[in-house]
């Protein structure tokens, strides 16, 4: 099930400015290898959100080969920090090559390993946390991440509409994970949630403690 009709999706992509060379190369690499990345519509949205809240410290739970991190790096200040995680050492190497080419290596740390385990070992709160791990792990990621946001911080999850699988009778662990994530986000006290229907759906949560 398409979250956005193909024609509207094409229209929105055509409105985007041309990406700088490293991002464009990463998009081509992902297309050739069918590697899932958030893509330019979502990346552009990420950069806008991070800029609007003045994000200085960003945590990524699941970074792939660094595509989304580069969008964040384009708007956080030079003394800001992005922490990336991925289970694949090859993805880390590819990401760090891209960061060096763009000149943002000084503000990005990349950890190889289980995202939630890495996250647990890092101190402090964050302005923005982005999650794109295996979907069955989304509820645990929500529970771990929401308390780590500073007041007014933003927690975002990719694939929150999951191509409508929850409406088609799919009962896989990943689909159940997405369903439980959305239920938690809209029912947890001090969390204001919205679903944004671009690409495969984004869940945005703001932390609003007493």
- pLDDT tens by residue, the chain, 210 residues: 899 999 999 999 999 999 999 999 999 999 999 999 999 999 999 999 999 999 999 999 999 999 999 999 999 999 999 999 999 999 999 999 999 999 999 999 999 999 999 999 999 999 999 999 999 999 999 999 999 999 999 999 999 999 999 999 899 999 999 999 999 999 999 999 999 999 999 999 998 877
Q: Round to whole Å and give the CA distance between 162 and 26.
A: 23
pLDDT in tens, 104-118: 999 999 999 999 999
Task: Look up the CATH architecture of domain 6-207.
Answer: 3-Layer(aba) Sandwich (3.40)
CA–CA gap between residue 169 and residue 167 (Å, rounded) = 6
Q: What is the pLDDT of residue 207?
A: 85
Domain boundaries, the chain: 6-207
Which segments of the chain does DSSP mark as H helices, in order?
A: 6-15, 21-33, 39-52, 67-73, 89-102, 115-120, 138-145, 173-187
- pLDDT digit string, tens, across residues 132-141: 999 999 999 9
């Amino acid at each position: 099930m398409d979250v956005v009709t193909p024609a509207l999706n094409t229209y929105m992509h055509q409105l985007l400015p041309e990406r700088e060379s490293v991002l464009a190369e990463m998009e081509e690499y992902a297309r050739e290898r069918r590697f899932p990345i958030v893509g330019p519509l979502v990346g552009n949205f990420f950069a806008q959100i991070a800029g609007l809240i003045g994000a200085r410290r960003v945590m990524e739970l699941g970074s792939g080969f660094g595509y989304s991190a580069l969008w964040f790096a384009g708007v956080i200040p030079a003394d800001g920090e992005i922490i990336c995680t991925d289970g694949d050492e090859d993805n880390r190497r590819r990401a760090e090559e891209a960061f060096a080419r763009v000149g943002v290596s000084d503000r990005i740390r990349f950890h190889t390993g289980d995202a939630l385990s890495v996250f647990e070992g890092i101190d402090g709160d964050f302005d923005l946390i982005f999650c794109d791990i295996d979907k069955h792990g989304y509820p645990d990621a929500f529970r771990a991440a929401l308390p780590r946001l500073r007041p007014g911080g933003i927690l975002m999850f990719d694939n929150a509409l999951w191509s409508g699988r929850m409406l088609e009778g799919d009962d896989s662990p990943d689909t159940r994970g997405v369903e439980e994530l959305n239920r938690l986000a809209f029912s947890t006290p001090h969390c204001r949630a919205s679903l944004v229907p671009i690409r495969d759906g984004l869940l945005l949560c703001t932390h609003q403690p007493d």
